[in-house]
Amino acid sequence: MFYTWMESPVGRLLLAADETGLRKLLFGGKPESGWREDPAALAEPVRQLRAYFAGELRDFDLPLAPAGTPFQLRVWRELRNIPYGQTISYGELARRIGSPNGSRAVGLANGANPISIVVPCHRVIGSNGKLTGYGGGLENKERLLALERVSNNRI
């Protein structure tokens, strides 16, 4: 596994990938044992993230290889279908994956998302419209949503 760090408007990000694709994008964190630092191997994800933070990129085009259960993978795939600048509730996400009573399970899967930002778990909010849990902190969730709102208004 290769890794690199990236400074961003939401803090230091750790990116990790292997030959199959991006496996992790974490707020802070530490490289795991056996990982090798290789910024060149992650140049494209870093380029796309910089474009996203500059308001110039809405859809990431990267090979992704998150590790998770079949249920988690279903949730993470559906997260990628939430349009840029929009939000949905955990209940709506559960309905979209065919598990209408599974909003808690969806919330747990959302919280376990290993590729934040690219797999936009920040676009999922409470049914009352309030921001709820986010691995990168609620302040960063609001920053990401605000970035997308501002960018939507410019385009």
For range 17-31, the mean pLDDT: 95
- pLDDT value for 87: 93
Which CATH fold topology does 70-154 show? Arc Repressor Mutant, subunit A (1.10.10)
For range 44-52, the mean pLDDT: 98
pLDDT higher than 70, residue 154: no
Our answer to whether residue 121 is catalytic in this structure is yes
For 58-97, what is each residue's pLDDT tens digit?
999 999 999 999 999 999 999 999 999 999 999 999 999 9
Q: With CA atoms as reference, report the closest residue to 88 among 124, 58, 63.
A: 124
For 108-148, what is each residue's pLDDT tens digit?
999 999 999 999 999 998 877 778 777 787 888 899 999 99
Evaluated on CA atoms 75, 53, 143, 138, the torsion sign reads positive
Look up residue 39 and give its DSSP letter.
G
pLDDT higher than 60, residue 52: yes
pTM of the model: 0.92
- pLDDT value for 153: 59
CB atoms within 10 A of CB 9: 10
Cα–Cα distance measured from residue 113 to residue 79, given in angstroms and rounded to the nearest whole number: 10
Q: How confident is the model at residue 152 (pLDDT cuts 50, 70, 90)?
A: low
pLDDT higher than 50, residue 155: no
> Annotated catalytic residue: which of 22, 79, 121, 147?
121
- Helix (H) or strand (E) segment spanning residue 3: strand 2-8
- pLDDT value for 130: 76
Among 3.40.1000, 2.40.10, 2.40.128, 3.30.160, name the CATH number for the domain at 2-53. 3.30.160
Q: How confident is the model at residue 151 (pLDDT cuts 50, 70, 90)?
A: low
Q: Break the chain into its structural domains and give their ranges.
A: 2-53, 70-154
